[in-house]
Structure 1
């Protein structure tokens, strides 16, 4: 039997067991078992801690029996967060490179157009492109990048800081 603070933390955030389970991407039965004091895997501890917005260490009282497990859970989480941040950063660099190339090519089209009407249309589209490309990045991130990274790094799926690096 493990003494933990999961129930107190859940109640302090006004979450039901079902809401916490959904947020942590685990079953309600898992939450019930954890609150009853049953042992859980490192991955499950990380998911629940992430859903509650706390570290794994904050799920437990200072118990010497849990220190090794907590340390392992934190190390696993930090490894997955760093790997995820690195991959997300690579996506941002690739997107930015494509963004600049597309906008430069679009701008070059102005030189080849000698018709004032076409130049005006291209100018409006070029300015609109600057505004739309930021929204396109958000769409790509939400629809394709985040789901793939959530599958690859499951401990980071419920984290609010999953796509931001610490500065």
Structure 2
């Protein structure tokens, strides 16, 4: 499954600054509504609920918030690059500037885990992250993510 299967070109945004993790989840809710027609409140609540189980900041400035949602037929994702890093309670205590959110159907098992593994492997590549951080154009970021993931597709 390549990233292009879960991330639409319209699902990428570069944001100057976000005041809190909750505000970030509101932005993701807005994007999920615009890109996939998801209910913003359901998205925000699901992300907050998952985050309460443990932070999804995986280190090196990367966060992978994710949630299972009713009514979805497939895994889908959104990507944000923050110009000003945000404290995200990450495992390495470093602020986050690259956020890849994943949403999966409630009954998704393997497909959700495969998508999470693919995104994680892709963003573990320091060269890819450097390119993402050096670009502000959403279409360029989309190209970086989708071309890079082809090498990591599971």
Structure number with higher strand proportion: 2
Please report the TM-score for the alignment, with normalisation by the length of structure 2: 0.32
Structure number with higher helix proportion: 1
